[in-house]
Each structure stands twice: as structure tokens, then as C-alpha cells.
Structure 1
Amino acid sequence: MLFVKGWRFLQAGVLFHLWILEGSRVSSFIMILLLLVMISLRWRYRMPVWSVGLDVTICFLYFPITDISYYGLVLPIFELAFRGKWYFSFLLFASLFFTPSASSFLFWYYFQGFFFGTFSWIALKNQQKYILEADEQRQARYELERIKLDLLEANKKASHHAELLERYRISRELHDHLGHDLTGASLALRAYEYVKNPEEANQLLQEVRNRLERSTIHLRETVHNMTPTMLIGVDSFENIVDQFQQLNIEFHKSGDMLRVPAHIWGWLEACLKEALTNVARHSNATKVEIDLQATDSIVRLLIGDNGTVQTNNSTGSGLRGLQMRARSLGGSLSVSRDNGFLLVGVIPLDKEG
């Protein structure tokens, strides 16, 4: 649009130049002034396409008075082509062959007005198309990020729900088996204190022994069923460290790791794998230190190396995804390369965890 506005005022300057060459006639000045008013209105407001008829009328009225009006006709030719009404613009262009002042110069003057008007129309349509595509891509990206956050939140809720179900299952298992047998054994021992008959006393002791044996068997089975078939939590975290043999890794942990829920362990393991992969690919480090801390309110992961080569200063898509996941969990993930590679992640823990 800056080009369009500049072209309009440039043509007004051409008309003023022709007016000076003509001898500065008052009638020509009034015509140029009227066209300049229309140019100024279009510069300030978005005029409807029918307003081009005012420019055409002004030029037609001054055809018998001054030859400058023929040059002024280039403005409506340009405006019509610029609005996509190139067929009307072409009709005005064709009127050149019916004017007494027709010349090759006027022909090329009209042609450049028609050409730049059509060019501006095409450029503006392409610009609007690109803006629309950019808006659609931006909306799609926002929706994708929203879906990612929703999935992370759903994963967190599913993990919490599975934990509650497992707790409920364990409590029912203990209540249905261990609770009854231990309660029966306790009552049998109390009754044993008041039994005088040796035979009845032996029967009570045998019942207590049987109930305790069943309780032991049920407890062993419950523990066996609770034992995971794959490594989870801090055990899986340590296994990743042990499996990474390319570097010398020192791993330190502190705090109660049982307070860390499953969905946060998934994020911690992803951070560990991404950091170790980046160190192996982009650093000349020989040593990596990993510090995992779990307090009552937060879990903090720190991964640093002793590398000196800085070949990858930009944050990759993997780290950006982890930062997004950290924000969805209410925490943060920061990366520094000032003195080797350093990754620090902090995630808050639920108070009821």
C-alpha cells in the first residue's frame, strides 16, 4: 500500500509538471487540484470502487479545455486495475485511440498505469493469501500446542487415577484376607487365656497357627503381585544412567523418591535421555554429573558436564518440547551453555502426594 500511495502522488507531481510546461493555466490547476483531492481521500480512507467514476468525470469534463486531462486519465486506469476491475480499466485505455491528443508517449503512459495497477492488485491478493495461510498455520500450531497440553494433563490425571485404583486394590486385598485371619488369630489368643481344658487350648493354638500361615501366604502373594515386571521410578532412572557407557557419569540422589508421581518420572527420564544424547553428540565432555533431589514441595534435576566445545547454541525441538511439558506441569526447564552444558529442571510436587 505504501507503493500504491507513492505512485498516486507521483502522478500528481507529473500533472503539476505538465501544468507548468503548459503555462500555468488556472483551469488546468483546478482540474489537477480536484484529482489531488481524490488522491488524498484515497490516502486517508478506503474509497468504494464507484468513486473512480468521479476521476473519470473530472477528466472528461476538462477534455475540451486542456490536454493535461488526457494524462490525468491514467489515475482512474490505475485505480480500476488496482481494484481488480481491469476490464473497465482496459476500456479507458482503449479510449486513447479516440482522442485527438493520441500519441505514442500517451500510450506508454497509460500502459504503465494499467501495468502497475494490475501488478499492485496481484501483489495485494498474494499478500492477503500469505497472511491467511500464516494465520491458519498459527492457529493450527496453537491448537497443536493446546492438544499437547491437554494430553499431558490427561496423562497426569490417568496416572493419579491408576495410583488411587492400585491403592484401593491393595487395601481390599489386605482387608479381605489378612484382616480377617489376623483378627481371628487375635480373638483365638484372647480366648486361649480363659480356656481350662488342654484339648480345647490346643485346638485354639492350632487355629491361630493356621490363620497366621494363611496370612503369611496371602501377604507373600500380595507382595509378589505388587512387584512390577519392569523398572519404574528411580530404578528406571538409574538403569538409563548405567546403560549409557559413552561417558563417565556420576549420579547423586537425595530425598524421598516415592513422593515423585509416575507422570513426573516420565518427564525426568525424557530430560535425562535428551541431555545425555546432546552431550554425546555436541560436546567434548568426559564427565557428566547428575543430581536428583526430591523434597516435600519440589523435585529438582541438574545435569552438567565439563565440555568446552560450543557447537550447538540453539535450543533444539527436543528441549523445547521438554520445556513445554515442564510448563504444563507447573515447573520450568532451563539450559545453559556458558560453562559446559547445564540443564536444570524444577517441578512442584502435589501437597497431597
Structure 2
Amino acid sequence: MTKLVEPMLFVNSWRFLMIAVLIYLWIIGDFVHSSFILILLLLMMTSLRWRFPLPIWSNVIDVVICILFFPITDISYFGLALPIFELAMKGKWVFSLFLFMSLFTPSPSSSLIFWFFLQSLLFGIFSFISVKNQEMYRLEVDEQRRARYELERLKIDLLTATQSASHQAELMERYRISRELHDHLGHDLTGASLALQAYEYVKDPVEAYALLEEVKNRLQRSTKHLRDYVHDMTPITKFGGERLDTILQNFQQIETVYHKSGDMLNVPAYIWELLESCLKEALTNVARHSNATKVDIELQVTEAIVRLSIQDNGTINKNSQSGSGLRSLQMRSRSLGGSLSINREYGFLLVCVIPLEKGE
């Protein structure tokens, strides 16, 4: 982003330019020591304004200095251009006009002073507008920056809430399955076990046959319940590692080599969602912006982390910037306590590492 030129740079340049004009008038006129003292005093006030933000009432000092030197030197009339400019730049145009009216007092070179005061007044008004516009621009930039930071914070909070909701849903599903198994399958299997233990001590053939029938019925019900549970819990759509396999199978633009290791069942649902987004984003960038002929994908699952590595063999601009998609993935990775790194040294390399929560 190009840095804008500060309006105060032009303001200070104009201030010292006016001092230079006064020095020029002193040089071409009579070299009176009182004129030099006047210029020196105005130079001191100008230097103070250059270094410090003096209050607006300090312009009274410049006016008093010039009025005191009216009877002594004609340069004092031109010196009023400085307070006229300062007042106009502070937005006090009424006071600037009041000083502007002083040119109607008997003074030498009235026409020259008129244009001298006029350009000071106009340039002061222009400086006032420029400084105000810069302040408004800075306020707008700060507001946009705060809004962007707030949006990023809300995105992180949303990702954290999604992760927590996914974890809670997984725990509730585990609780529901354990309760169903206990209420139905557990009771039938316990009853069948007790019936078999009682069968060993029954002497009556009819009663023994009844116990075997009860065991048979309980096992049949248990088998049916177990089959129904498995059928209901089997996802209709592909999920997790199967989803990554499907994405790679549908990607026909470039040859892909996929290696995976570890227990995929240890990876929670919210991490699979991030890994899927990383794979899609990387393959899309390869297809659009790379001349690669091969992409190597490696997925490693350990007890502590999940690591997804995507590397192509294409040539890409090493100084190119990451797009909004990659920046969003990096933010999502950080929200999960992991990282997403990018390397363009040899082709395009994307590595996403996410820690696994223990004790789930």
C-alpha cells in the first residue's frame, strides 16, 4: 500500500517559505536591525509550531509582534500573513478575515499586501480541508481495521463453537448408543446367560427345552437389534478418509499419488472438515495456477497429531501472495491449535498439522 503524503509537510513548507519571503524583503530593503529582530521572532514561533502543536491562542503572539513593529518596519505588515494562515488552518476563518481587513489601514504596497494576505487565507483554508480529510480518512481506516479484527475474532469464535458443538454431538451420540445397547442388547444377553446357567441344573426335559427356546429367542432379538443399530449408524454419504478418496478420484486433471497411515477413526469430524477444505483448495490452485504434472498427497495420523501434506512438481512464482482461501485455512488451523504452512521453493507445498485432543 502506497504511503500518503502528510498534509503537514506542505503546511510546514509554506510556513518556512513565508519566513524566506520576509528575509528576502529584508534583504532587498534597508537592512534595519529591527526588521531582523521581527523576522527572528516570527521564525521562533514558526519553529515552535513545527515541533509542537501549539494552541490556537498562540497566534495572538504573532499578531502582537507584528503590530508592535508597524511603526518601525514595513515588513511587519507582510508578517501578518503567518497568523492569517494559522487561524484559517485551524478553522477560525472569521478571525483570519478580521486580520485580512487590516490591509485597509494605511500601509505601504497595499495592492501587494492584498494578494499576499489573500493567498495566505486561501492556502490556510485549503490546509484546513486537507487536514480534516486526512483525519476522516484515518478514522475510516481505523474503523475498517477494527471491523476486520472483529470479523476475524468472530470467525475464530464461530470455529471454536463449531468444534465444541461437534464434540458435544459426538459425546451425546456415544451416550445414546451405550444406553440403547444397555437397555435392549444388554438385557437380552444377560437373560440368555442366566437361562444357560439355569439349564445346567434343570432335570425336567420339558423345562430344559423351554429354557433353550428362551435363550434362542433372546439371541435372535439381540442379533436383530445389533443389525438394526449397525444399519442406522452407517452413514449414507461418505465421510472422513473415504471423502478424501472420493475427492481424489474425481480430480482427473493431474496425476495424484495418495499415501495414508495411522488410525483414521481417531480423527474427529471437525478436523476432517478442515482437511477436506485444504485438499480442495490445494487441488484447485494446482489446476488453475500451476503447470504441475503430479501431486503427492500424504495423510499421517498419530496419537498426537494429524498431518496432511500436499506437494506438486510445478513451477510457480516464489513471491506470489496467498489468496483469501489459504489465509482462511490458516486462520481455521490456528483456531484448532494447529498450523498451516506454505512453501513455494520447489513447486507448491502445503502442510497442515492439527493436534488431536486426548481423553475424548
SS of alignment partner, residue 258 of structure 1: helix
Does the aligned pair in 1 maintain the 2:23–2:39 contact within 8 Å? Answer: yes
Question: Residue in 2 aligned with 1:18?
Answer: 25
State the distance in 2 between where 1:262 and 1:282 align: 30
Q: Does 1:84 align with 2:91?
A: yes
Find 1:326's aligned residue among 308, 330, 333.
333
For residues 282-293 of structure 1, the aligned pairs below 5 Å read 282-293=289-300
Equivalence for 1:65: 72
Number of aligned residue pairs: give it. 353
Question: Given residue 206 of structure 2, which amino acid in structure 1 is its aligned partner?
Answer: E
The aligned counterpart of 1:103 is 110
Deviations 1:260-293 (A, max 9, x none): 1100000000001011111111112222111111
- 3-state SS of the aligned residue for 1:212? helix
Higher alpha-carbon deviation: 193-202 or 7-16: 7-16
The residue aligned with 2:3 is none
- Residues 57 and 312 (structure 1 numbering): CA distance in 2 closer, same or farther, change over 3 Å? closer
CA–CA separation in structure 2 for the residues paired with 1:218 and 1:114: 93
| Contact 1:49–1:83 (Cα < 8 Å) also in 2 | yes
Letter matched to residue 130 of structure 1: Y
Q: Which is worse superposed, 100-109 or 124-133?
A: 100-109
Question: Where in structure 1 are there 5+ consecutive unaligned residues?
Answer: none
**When the two structures are superposed, what TM-score results if normalisation uses the length of structure 1?**
0.95
Farther-moved stretch of structure 1 (31-40 vs 59-68): 31-40
Q: What is the CA–CA distance in structure 1 between the aligned matches of 2:121 and 2:347, rounded to whole Å? A: 62
Q: CA deviation at 1:310?
A: 4.2
Query: Aligned residue for 2:12?
Result: 5
Letter aligned with residue 51 of structure 1: S
Of the three residues 237, 240, 245, the one matched with 1:238 is 245
Give secondary structure in 2 for the equivalent of 1:291.
strand
Distance in 2 (alpha carbons) for counterparts of 1:214 and 1:244: 45
Task: Decide whether aligned partners of structure 1 residues 91 and 334 sit closer, same or farther in structure 2, where only a CA change above 3 A counts.
Answer: same
Partner of 1:150: 157
Range that drifts further, 237-246 or 161-170: 237-246
Q: Tell me how far 1:249 sits from its aligned partner.
A: 1.5
C-alpha spacing 1:330/1:109, structure 2 compared with 1 (3 Å): same
1:133 aligns with 2:140: yes
- 2:62 aligns with 55
Verify: 1:172 aligned to 2:176, yes or no. no
What is the match of residue 200 of structure 1? 207
- Tell me the TM-score normalized by structure 2: 0.93
Q: 2:22 and 2:277 mapped to 1: Cα distance? A: 70
User: Which is worse superposed, 130-139 or 90-99?
Assistant: 90-99
Q: Secondary structure at the match of 1:333?
A: strand
How far apart are 1:238 and its partner, in Å? 0.9
Tell me if the contact between 1:234 and 1:257 (Cα under 8 Å) persists in the aligned partners: yes
**Which structure 2 residues correspond to residues 254-273 of structure 1 after superposition, within 5 A?**
254-273=261-280
In the other structure, the counterpart of 1:184 is: 191
Unaligned runs of 5+ in 2: 1-7
- The answer to whether the aligner puts 1:351 opposite 2:340 as a matched pair is no
CA distance in 1, matches of 2:83, 2:269: 71
Contact conserved, 1:335 with 1:342, CA < 8 A, in 2?
yes
- CA displacement at 1:21 relative to structure 2: 3.3
Aligned to 1:303: 310
Aligned to 2:168: 161
Task: Pick which of 275-284 and 103-112 moved more.
Answer: 103-112
Q: For residues 124 and 343 of structure 1, what CA distance do their matches in structure 2 show?
A: 46
- For each residue in 1:72-113, what CA deviation from the matched residue of structure 2 results, as whole angstroms up to 9, or x when unmatched? 111111111111112221222232133331433222222222
Q: Aligned pair in 2 of structure 1 residues 55, 316: CA closer, same or farther (>3 Å)?
A: same
Q: Is the 8 A contact 2:318 2:344 kept in 1?
A: no
Distance 2:321 2:48 in 1: 49
Question: Alignment identity in percent?
Answer: 65
Q: Does 1:113 align with 2:125?
A: no
CA contact (8 A) 1:282 1:311 kept: no
Instruction: Return the alpha-carbon distance in structure 2 between the equivalents of residues 82 and 240 of structure 1.
Output: 64
Structure-2 change in CA distance of 1:148 and 1:56 (3 Å): same
User: For each residue in 1:27-82, what CA deviation from the matched residue of structure 2 results, as whole angstroms up to 9, or x when unmatched?
Assistant: 32333333233223323332221221221122122212211110111111111111
Shift of 1:142: 0.0
Specify the SS of the correspondent of 2:299: strand
